[in-house]
Structures are given as C-alpha cells and as structure tokens.
Amino acid sequence: FAWRENLSVVLTWRWISMPGGDCFWVVGAIGWFILDLPHSMTIERRLLYLLPFAPRLDATNGGSKVMAQILSRMAAHHKLCLVYLRGIDEPPIDELIRQHCDCAVEVIRAWSGSDFIHRWVRQSRLVISLIGNRPMWVTDWYSREYSEKARSIIERWHPDILHIDYHIMGQYLPALYGCTAPRVLTMPESGERAAPFITSSNKFIQLLNRYDRLAWRRYEKAVVQEVDAVVVFTDCDNKAIARLASGTRIVKIPLGTEIPENPQDLGDDYPPKLLFFGSFIHPPNLDAALRLAHSIFPSLLARVPELELYIVGDQPPPVLKRVANEKIMVTGRVPDLAPYLARASIVVAPLRLGGGMRVKILETLAAGKALVTTPLAVEGLAIIDREQVVLAESDAEFVQAIIKLLADPEMRAALANRARTWACENLGWEKSIAAYEGLYTNLIESAQPS
C-alpha cells in the first residue's frame, strides 16, 4: 500500500505549500479514500453450504469442527444459509453458528440410530447399494427429504455460491439443476483413499471392500466433473483428484485450526496415559484405533504395566467397544476433549489409511502435546521428524518411540513446546479464509458475461 500512502502525502503537501491548498487537501483525502476502498471492504456474498454434519465448535468429529470454525469466520462478512444432515444420536448444530446464519435447515439421516434394528437396516442398505455402483458411505448419507429441502432453499434464497462440503454430498448435485451459481466442492480426501481397507480374513468383507473402492472411482469422477472448482488440502490429494477432474479447477487450501490461548498441561500425572481421538464414522480412524489396541499397546503394557490408553470419539462400533478393559478406556462421544488432552502423556495416531489433513493432528500440535504418528498422518504439513513430532511406521517403531518419550519427560516437554510454537506460526485460519474469499470472487467474476 506504500504507493497509495505516497500519493496521499504528495497531495497533502501541496495544500501546505500552495495558495488554495484547502482544495488540494480535499482532493488528496478523497484520492486516498478511493484508492484504499477496494482493499478495506469485502463484498458481501450469499453463500449456501450443503453439509454432511451439524457444525459444532466443540465437536470431536474433525469435519464438524472444521466446518464450524470456517463458518464462524465467513459469517463476519457474508450471508450464510446451511442445509445439513444429522444422525439421530448426534448433537445439534452449535447455537452460535445458527445465530449467525440467515437460515439453517436440519434433516435427520434415516436409519442412523444405534439400536439393533437401525444398524441391521443400515448395513443391509449399504451392501445392496454396491449393486448399483454406489459407494456405501454415499448411500449412508442419502436422504430424499434433504434433496427436496436443498432444492427449496435454492429457489427462494438465490445464492451467489454453492459450497458442497465432502464428496458424499455430491450426490445432491441433481437437486441444484437450474441454479447458475458457481459450485465449489471441498474434498478433504479422495473417497477411494478413505474407503474401508481394514484388513479382514472374511472373504465377504474383502469382496465388499473391493467393490466399494471401484464404486468410489466411478462416483468421484462423475461428481468432480459437475462442479466449477474442487478444494483439496494437500498436494497428494491434488494429484489424486487431478486424475478425475478432466478440466475442473483444483485449488489447494490447507486447513487451519483454533489456537488455544495457552498450551495444555504436559500430562505428567500418574499413571501415564496415551490418547487417540477421532470420529469412528471415518474408517481410517477405526483402523488406527484397532491397530493401537491390538498391535501396539500390548507391547507397551509389557514394559510399562501402569500405562493406560484412552480411545475417545463419536460412534465407536461394537468391534472397537470390545477392546475396552481395565487398561483401555473406549469413551464414545465426550462433551469436551480438553480434559483428555490435558491428562495425556502422549497422543498416538497410528494412521495408515486415507488422505487429507487430519484435524486431530492440527489440534494436538496447537495444544502443545507430544505426538507420535505416521508420515501419512502429517501429509501436507511442513514439519520435521523429532522436531515437532516423532514419526513411526511399524508397530515396533511406535513402541520404541513411545517408550523413549515416557522415559524422558524433558524430551517430551521440549517436543511439545516446539510443536506448539510451529502451530502458532503456521496453523491460523487467516490465509485459508482469504484463499476461499479469493476463489469465490474469481468464480463469480468468471461466470459473469464479458
């Protein structure tokens, strides 16, 4: 902005040195105001979001929490309308988010309860869906009522931008027919990468997984070609989606996270505690939790008998609940993750499936906690092994890294402090929100007739 400031100074200086300078002063002030105006104002847009979860700032589901953080910032400059799905047993939209929206329309997902009948009907629907080449997760999030309500909102609210969050919501694109607003699709990861690759000796499960991956390939290609831009979080996901895009614009906008005012405690309480957290709707999280409980924790317990493991997150399935015992706590959804983070000696995330940026990793770094995880889990983050995190691949490497950190509190504290410093410098939301603003403006301007 230096050139604008210099111009203002020059015009003001002429007021001082020449007769009739009042006139020049007015010209200088008006000139500076006009030149600065485009940089000091954000054009208000009407943004319609199609969401798979109820956005909550306190959610343990990373997707729900990220949506809430983005929406709370977008609401400062734009008019928002949300149409979102919610499971029967899931908490409602954050009231603070609702208050900042023009409208927030909720649709309850069918057969999303946790009782036996709901689970049986739901699983039957998922298996049958593969016959029609529909990914199981897409079918699980299908609702005729949602499609009708999305269409109704579009007809009466007239958005400037349609923002579809998650690939599973791309199935509602037909409901948008006739709406000329640019369409943006956020894909936190490729569905094929996130499909349930959980190892199983059951031949039927293996067959389902194989067909599900093929269904994702067909589905995502069709969805990506129906939007104007796709937002991804990492270079790896950019490459994966580029194979499907066929000319669709792909934009990388990394995630941010809320930075707590103060770091969490170092977790020096006795007995020492390990923590894994995430939503178990997401197959990679379930795989990581089972791996930790079955393959990593027993070896740790043999060397540190007093050690405890906490597995925290929404909707743990029966297979995960069965690992609970006096040393392994499977909590399900909790009202507040902070106490678990505070008490944890180490956060462990042995993720080996999926893609995108993991919200749990960003939150752990921002909280200033020691973290042992895989290279895949920190994909898209410019962090260094043993500088901000400790990276491990095999079960033996995880055991060795965790034992070493438990035995050396000073090393653990230094790692946590460096993680917190890096997060404060790199994980704020400002750049990401500005990138979304720029993308919306570019798409709207490109859609206007020349």
- Nearest Cα to 29, choosing from 21, 18, 39? 21
Report the C-alpha gap between 102 and 92 in whole angstroms.
Answer: 17
Residue with tokens 């070493």, as numbered in its chain: 404
| pLDDT tens track, the chain, 450 positions | 333 333 333 333 333 334 444 434 344 444 434 444 444 456 899 999 999 999 999 887 888 999 999 999 999 999 999 999 998 888 999 999 999 999 999 999 986 766 777 777 777 877 787 777 889 889 989 999 999 999 999 999 999 999 999 999 999 999 888 889 999 999 987 776 665 544 455 666 677 778 888 888 889 999 999 999 999 998 888 888 888 877 899 999 999 998 888 887 766 678 999 999 988 888 889 999 999 999 999 999 999 999 999 999 988 989 999 999 999 999 998 988 889 999 999 999 999 987 766 888 999 999 999 999 999 999 888 999 999 999 999 999 999 999 999 999 999 999 999 999 999 999 999 999 999 999 999 999 987 765
Q: Quick check: 186 and 165 in contact, CB under 8 A?
A: yes
With residue 252 as reference, give the H or E element that holds it. strand 249-252
Report the C-alpha gap between 362 and 436 in whole angstroms.
Answer: 20
Report the C-alpha gap between 354 and 236 in whole angstroms.
Answer: 11
First and final C-alpha spacing in the chain:
29
The residues spanned by each domain of the chain are 2-40, 46-256+429-447, 273-426
Find all residues with CB under 8 Å of 313, minimum gap 6, and list them. 60, 61, 277, 278, 279, 280, 285, 289, 331, 332, 333
Same CATH fold, 273-426 and 46-256+429-447?
yes
Instruction: Pick one of 3.40.640.10, 3.40.50.2000, 3.40.50.1240, 3.90.550.10 as the CATH number of 273-426.
Output: 3.40.50.2000
Report the C-alpha gap between 266 and 280 in whole angstroms.
Answer: 26
Report the C-alpha gap between 17 and 190 in whole angstroms.
Answer: 65
- Number of Cβ within 10 Å of residue 210's Cβ equals 13
The CATH number of 46-256+429-447 is 3.40.50.2000
Report the C-alpha gap between 269 and 259 in whole angstroms.
Answer: 24
Cα atoms in the 13 Å half-sphere on the side-chain side of 83? 23
What tokens does 172 get?
């509602």
- Nearest Cα to 56, choosing from 81, 90, 79, 103? 90
